[in-house]
Amino acid sequence: MRSWNRTGWSSEPGRLQWQRGYIVQESIHKYFQVGLVAAMADPAAWKGKEETFLAGIRQVVTDDYFDVIEVNPIKPERREQVKKWVTAGHLKLCYSGHARLLGAGLNPNALEEAERQKAEDALKEGLEEAKELGADTLAFLSGHWEEKTREEAYRQLVKTTGNLCAYAQERQMKIEIEVFDYDIAKKSLLGPAPLAARFAAELRSKFNNFGLMIDLSHIPMTHETGRFVVQTLRPYLTHFHIGNTVIKSPAAPAYGDEHPRFGFPGSCADTPEVLEFLRVLKQEGFFCPAKPFVLSFEIKPWADEDPALVLANAKRVLNRAWALLE
């Protein structure tokens, strides 16, 4: 249905408007909070000295393309400055607890209770840091698993996540698990979409502050399609990443969970794949102007690539995909 307004024809409830003979596309920022995983986009700056690290953070905060900055754990002496800049820049800050697990070799679904508890304690510390920085959510990933003990690992992950959800509820915060590959790189328990859906349904039956995060780059690694993953996990999805992966051969550059730039040789994602992902999100009802979902780039320079060029690549791909979306 179309209606006339002073500027011309508008589609209802579509996204295109006709103004003075031109088709005008509504901004993606109406429907999503566009973000950047900062530590991935510029690893050298993130791991660098104080001046380099803060310069990297400031570059994201002062770029009005972004509504969200996603951060890894930050040294205590740097947190106050980061929070001040993020607040002044009117950004949302999201906190990833992945590094707290991967860096220490911790597994939230470890079969040994003492090891599982270590992972839970590390994530609770991360939740406190997230709150200190002004975030309202802690994200993490499931750990390694073995086929013969998959159900036991599943129960351990339910225990860890349930404890974290209860802990987060007391602080008016939320918990997210990111769905990863299960047999290529991270080899995480969650894992294929049907298992992630089963897990999320169990957690949601007790905790309304739990959700799932999916990444376009992980979908080829779970041997699934974006449409299948989104439709299977639809009731539980709270956060989205877009990135790229190479999985054709273990010998290929950037193989696995390396998040190379879009269009990288031999990779799975470029403008058409981002467009299709957006199309599925739209069809499944994730375009929410009143309360936009986070949609963040998770991309990383490969070898000696310039981080600024890789980021420009990502923006152009998303801009083009958005422009083509009907």
pLDDT tens by residue, the chain, 326 residues: 333 333 343 443 445 555 555 556 799 999 999 999 999 999 999 998 999 999 999 999 999 999 999 999 999 999 999 999 999 999 999 999 999 999 999 999 999 999 999 999 999 999 999 999 999 999 999 999 999 999 999 999 999 999 999 999 999 999 999 999 999 999 999 989 999 999 999 999 999 999 999 999 999 999 999 999 999 999 999 999 999 999 999 999 999 999 999 999 999 999 999 999 999 999 999 999 999 999 999 999 999 999 999 999 999 999 999 999 98
User: Residue 160: how many CA atoms within 13 Å on its side-chain side?
Assistant: 34
Strand 16-19 vs strand 22-25: parallel, antiparallel, or unpaired?
A: antiparallel
Task: Report the length, in residues, of the chain.
Answer: 326
What pLDDT score does 17 carry?
53
Token pair 């269009």 is found at 263
pLDDT of residue 3: 36
Q: Report which of 29, 30, 31, 37 is spatially closest to residue 178, judged by C-alpha positions.
A: 37
Closest C-alpha to 246, from 173, 300, 325, 178: 300
Domains parsed from the chain with CATH numbers: 1-29 (no CATH), 31-324 (3.20.20.150)
CB 322 within 8 A of CB 314: no
Greatest Cα-to-Cα distance within the chain, rounded to the nearest angstrom? 67
Report the C-alpha gap between 264 and 270 in whole angstroms: 8
